[in-house]
Amino acid sequence: MRIEVLILLSLVLAFIITWLFIPAWSIKGPNYYLRLMPWGFVVTFFGVTYIVPPPTVYLVPFFALDSALVPLIWRRSVYSLYLSALLITLALTMFADTVLFQERYMQVKGYLIEPTPNGYLYVALPHSPAFGIPGYILAMSAAVAILNMVTRARWIKYRAWSLAQTLAEYGPLMTVEQALKRLNIPYVKAQGTIIVGNLVIREADGKLALSLIDAANKPLGEVAPVEVGLLMPPNEAIAYVIHEAVKRVFEEKVTVIEYAEED
């Protein structure tokens, strides 16, 4: 799972959660307070509160959440990022339409319109509109979704990973684990060992001990070697492990390419 997609998910969840408590847009004046919440406009006038629910407000969190979930579910095509950007743009559009609803139907020539049980009132009060934290988070979510679309969710630059440097810093066993993670090769870590298929990797005296296990009879969380392999220098052992792991993946035809172009 790419970090760029998780960042979008975090922003969208932060937008929805904060919007439950903080208005995304509001207008304040003396004895007048209008705030935009997920369930509509909440208008308080001289202590009396009304709710005006424009239909577009319910589509904002719906499109925003879909925008974050699509890249998580549909990971093998770049078109999921296009759809994500489209959905977050629709969420932003629905948000703007909701604000314009207030400008069009709840404010006329500087007068605020106050709903009443049998009509409405024109109120001339000094007032000031303001965006809330959820509104800014939604705008940031849209920017991240569009950036993911343009860069295929690869805009965060990592330090170039070096096998030799990782071996010197973290040791041979951690180097094997990091290499398997970067190659997206499944493995099991148990009791200080790493298991790839029926290959068991242990660290012993600064070297890697390789052995084979009976994968069919191996108890969960236990390592039961059938035949003991060689005690090899780390660089040779790591190369052998990567070679065997990659070969096993191709034999099983396991391919997961995140956000690749369609053939």
Q: What is the pLDDT along the chain (263 residues), one digit of tens a residue?
A: 678 899 999 999 999 999 999 999 988 877 778 899 999 989 887 787 888 888 899 999 999 999 999 999 988 788 999 999 999 999 999 999 998 877 665 565 556 666 666 666 666 666 678 889 999 999 999 999 999 999 888 888 765 667 777 788 778 888 888 888 877 788 888 878 888 877 888 887 777 888 877 655 454 344 444 444 566 677 777 888 887 777 776 666 555 556 665 44
Cβ atoms of residues 201 and 173 within 8 Å: yes
**From the centroid of its chain, how far is CA 176?**
27
Q: Which residues contact 96 (CB under 8 A, 6 or more apart)?
A: none
The reported pTM is: 0.62
User: Helices 59-73 and 79-105 meet at what angle, rounded to 10?
Assistant: 170
Closest CA to 60 of 23, 105, 10, 15: 15
CA-CA distances (angstroms) from residue 170 to 124, 175, 178, 215?
69, 7, 10, 28
Could you tell me which of 130, 133, 108, 134 has the C-alpha nearest to residue 121?
108
**Contact present, 238 and 193 (Cβ < 8 Å):** no
Q: Count CB atoms within 10 A of the CB of residue 20.
A: 11
Exposure of 29 by Cβ count < 10 A (0-12 exposed, 13-18 middle, 19+ buried)? middle
Q: Please tell me the distance from the alpha carbon of residue 93 to that of residue 259, in angstroms, as a whole number.
A: 26
